[in-house]
Amino acid sequence: MRNAFGTLAVVAFSLVFGAAQAADFKPAVIYDVGGKFDKSFNEAVFNGIRRFTEETGVEVMEHEVANEAQRRQAMERMIRRGATVLLGVGFGQADAINAVAEANPDKQFSIIDVFWLDQPNLRQYSFKEHEGSYLVGVAAAMKSESGTIGFVGGMDSQAIRKFACGYVQGAKSVSADVTVLQDMTGTTPAAWNDPVKGAELARRQIDRGADVVYQAAGGTGIGVIKAAADAGKLAIGVDSNQNHLAPGSVLTSMVKRVDLAAYRTFMDAMNGEFTAGIRSLGLAEGGVGWAVDEHNRALVSGEIEAAVEKAKQAIISGAVKVHNYEEVSNCPF
């Protein structure tokens, strides 16, 4: 009973504290193209924000951009509305947040998937997606019966080619003979929100023999997952745990903990612990990983699980170095 009363007291304190802070502390987030319910990248950020609000009682001002031109406008509008800390979602918001942070040195800013800016009031989160992609590459190559697997990316960029190259390297560590088909959806932000095109690309790869297709394409990836399930093949999800989107047809998901980046940004700002600089999160930091749950448990054999865990430990120890396409723009595998 004491524990129950203690828990209630903590919750009550958090809510009161949150209400007291609301006047001076106003967090805001700008989701990128695709929206906060894209079942992928943006939605993972939303989950972190929801956790923050549930624990503190502090509401976060939100905006979902429909196109590139809205990014800076939305950030400036949030500042005018009183935002004291603002989170930008995705590398596409780099230029906008850099300009707005420079113009508002008394505010705090944070951005996910950026590491090259230099503002004293800006925190940048970079993830080692190549490490997590290596793991799912191992799983895909081991699960494949055809010896051909696929990758469908969203907007063609160094960031997405980092996913692809890590995936290829992981697959090739299982078998040098595995074939990895690759397609990018487009070259503009619209590539993140085109599930029809995602399905089309996945079907093309399946027609060419792919029986496992990894997508790193935001909302576009929903089409990839559906196409694989419809064809009786397997997909691999990304960012959020997407195993539940097609139970029995999603081999696993490469989980990227952008939810933690969002949660920590606002918690640190609220508690007076916000610091600028770059935070790089990989396997060792718990920033990326792979998902096994009730929706894909039957697909993941003990042999696959053991091999992925062995690869994970080898990467963490430094015995295996995963190629980072953002550092060296080629994929030697």
Residue 140 has pLDDT above 70, yes or no: yes
Residue 193 CA to residue 41 CA, distance in Å, equals: 11
Query: Mind giving me the DSSP string for 141-153?
Result: HHH-SSSEEEEEE
Q: Show Cβ contacts of residue 46 under 8 Å, excluding neighbours closer than 6 positions.
A: 31, 36, 37, 262
The whole-number pLDDT of residue 23 equals 60
Q: How far is CA 312 from the centre of its chain?
A: 18
pLDDT tens per residue across span 96-120? 999 999 999 999 999 999 999 999 9
Whether the CB-CB separation of 205 and 228 falls below 8 Å is answered with no
pLDDT class of 8 with cuts at 50, 70, 90? very low
pLDDT tens per residue across span 202-215? 999 999 999 999 99
* pLDDT, mean of residues 137-146: 98
Residue 6 has pLDDT above 80, yes or no: no
Return the H-helix or E-strand segment holding 186: strand 179-186
Residue 66 has pLDDT above 80, yes or no: yes
Residue 239 CA to residue 195 CA, distance in Å, equals: 16
Share of the chain above pLDDT 70, in %: 93
pLDDT class of 198 with cuts at 50, 70, 90? very high
**Bridge partner list, 111:** 88, 124
Residue 190 CA to residue 220 CA, distance in Å, equals: 9
